[in-house]
Amino acid sequence: MKTQSTEKLLRIFISEKDKHNSKPLYEEIILLAKKHGMTGASAIKGFIGFGVKSHIHTAKLLELSENLPIIIEIIDSEEKINSFLQVLDGVLQDGLVTLENVNTIRYLK
């Protein structure tokens, strides 16, 4: 079965070293998304990037490869995304969050 809809894409940009309650922050966010019934969430590790402080983080140099960028993507209804943003307020200290409308096509057996 194939369904189409318009939903929200939530992107969270953080660093690999970011922590919450001594756990990696990306792991904590994924577990919170599951706990709050989000449709799905993925954490993607970047190879190179920089943030607001303009520090380059790259997998090329061993000494710089310990703090690579992480992007977490979550797609769900606008209502559920807006609700989850309140959860993020309790765990994010540094980072960037973006929201955009996306057209989704779901293929389900």
Sequence spans of domains, the chain: 2-107
Average pLDDT, the chain: 91
Q: Which amino acid is at 35?
A: K
Joined tokens for residue 12: 């969270």
pLDDT for the residue numbered 8: 97
User: 90 in helix, strand or coil?
Assistant: coil
- At 57-78, the pLDDT tens digits run 777 655 556 678 999 999 999 9
Choices 3.40.50.1220, 3.40.50.20, 3.30.70.120, 3.30.428.10: CATH for 2-107: 3.30.70.120
Q: Which amino acid is at 94?
A: D
Distance in angstroms (rounded) separating the CA atoms of residues 18 and 67: 9
Single pTM value for the model: 0.88
